[in-house]
Structure 1
Amino acid sequence: MLPAQPNQSLIDGLACLHALAASPAALGSRELARLLEFEPTRTNRLLKTLAHLGLAEQDEKRKYRVGPAIHVLGVESLHTSGFIDRAVEVLKGLDGEHLTVAMGVLWQDVVCYLYHQYPSHTDGGTVRHRPVPASTSGLGLALMAQMSDDELRALYAVRSGAQRDGPTGLLEQVADARRQGYALFAAGGGERTIAIVLGGSLHAAIGVSGIFPDGDIPGLVSDLRSAAAQITETG
């Protein structure tokens, strides 16, 4: 919910920073202005301010990409509290031999993964998964179930080209997640994701994905809830 007097410059500056972080290639000032539907001169000022702070930088073609300060902030926010290290130790116990295990956070309409471990990998769950639309993620549905329908409509109403209620069927899927206490998302190819939200002040969700029969769902939900309890006890 917006405060009574929101700082629009801060909001727009963060939108620029998010766009740079999400883009696979550096963006020119006018290119970013078109993408965000911002006024070009103002976009240029915002980018120069971000560059001054080290949150953005220009490449040899004078296009913008995220700067080193954003990585410092990311490391500080993830590891200062020790939350990630503690959570990873718990999540390692969920991988088994056939399930993908993930933990992520919701920002606007995308899910950003803090941990994503495929069953065939043994690298400790490094974060190599790009952000995905929340509506196509079990973790995203679980996190959006914490929002009201009005908040979801407001979120998608301001996203360029999106339907006011979000993608078709989103509100119904979110309602199911609220009712069940967990999200069950069919990812295609027979794979499904089960996800739950971590309680307390940790605005994150954890989940497992793979091919499993309906009879396994109660046990997987129980395992996730047990893991969540262990994470939030020390979070």
Structure 2
Amino acid sequence: MQLLSAGIDEWSPHVLSGAMLANARGAHAAPVSEWILSAILTTYRRWPALIRYQDQHTWAHRRPGTDFDTLSGKRVLVLGAGAIGTAVARLLPPFGATATMVGRTARAGVHGVDELPDLVAEHDIVVVICPLTPETDGLVDAKILAAMPDGALVVNAGRGRVVDTDALVTELTAQRLRAALDVTEPEPLPEDHPLWTCPGVIVSPHGARTVPGTNRLCYEVAAKQVAALARGETPPNAQAR
């Protein structure tokens, strides 16, 4: 079974044992990493506050909520060292930011997930882009969030369930952390959910990949997968069940 998505969590429980399930790894790297960078810059440059002032026809020079910040010099922890996480890490240096990669296991240039509790305390931004698995479900919990520095930013473009929603709401309500979320738990986010009104949060409706050209990239990956299968090879993105 060939998916056009980066994640396989929605399909995996329904695939029979012995079948191969393949994702479109690599196709989403450019659009999703671009969304992540835009979310960081939008937060630091206070665009939500500026737009609200614009709606009121207010020239917002030095108004409350317009304490601008810069990405330059920031330390970014990227939780997920796959194609998207790697693309995020490549985008940061031109802005003067540094990236630290965290993967399931430690390897050259990548820290293991077991180091996460110590690493978050040293970073200004945590980007969550890892897949949802039994090991990552609720991984960014109250303890991890509490270890982040005051004013730090959580960016989640992976899966909503990787981050403990209740713990995040607590930190946002206290105005200790900020967040930019393309995915949530639950999803879609109910209209009465507290995340909508938490201070310092941007919510995007799981649309980081939804730009022109993404489907073409997905089908290009799928075509390569099918071609590998036709040659008698195991498709590179396939996982045996």
- Interval containing the TM-score (normalised by the shorter chain): under 0.3
Q: Which has the higher contact order (CA 8 A, sep 6+)?
A: 2
Which structure shows the bigger proportion of residues in helix conformation?
1
